[in-house]
Amino acid sequence: MIEANVVLTQPLSNRRQFVARTGGGHHLLIDDKDGASGPTPIELVAAGLAGCTAFDVITVLRKKHMYVTDYEVQVEADQAPQPPAVFEKVRLHHVVTGVDVDRKAVEDAIRLSEEKYCSVGAMIRKTAKFETTFEIREVAVEEDSNKVAQGAVV
């Protein structure tokens, strides 16, 4: 079971700032766009999607023994104009940096995340269309050492 709770930080003001506590004991501030002291709840959903798919993809790439030196997932989402302002379109962009990273391995990892593993994505797909892209940034290992030198985008 997943647990979380939020507590209003300033009950006697008009602010909508809360301290959130996860079941794992982590704390963070959530706020509205006016307060701007923490992410909004919908920003946390976008970050949760990025994190969920990132966990899946990097796990699969590591199982395939890909030498990944950096990895990033970027998420943009368009919301419905009227409440509830659910996500209607989501754009995910994966940036995988590494040495001899196989394009098919990246495609397979992303597909598995989207079709099988990412629970956050599965929930969001109930209301949103997804557009997923990726790029591989190749780096080279210097012959004289174990250092990795930056290379070109593939």
DSSP codes of every residue in 56-70: HHHHHHHHTT-EEEE
d(CA 96, CA 70): 6
Provide the pLDDT for residue 113: 98
Beta bridge partners of 137: 97, 153
Q: Which segments in the chain show pLDDT lower than 70? A: 142-154
Provide the pLDDT for residue 143: 54
**Closest by CA position to 153, among listed 96, 92, 109, 107:** 96
pTM of the predicted protein model: 0.90
Domain boundaries, the chain: 1-39, 41-149
Provide the pLDDT for residue 153: 47
Provide the pLDDT for residue 148: 55
Domain 41-149 has CATH 3.40.50.1440: no
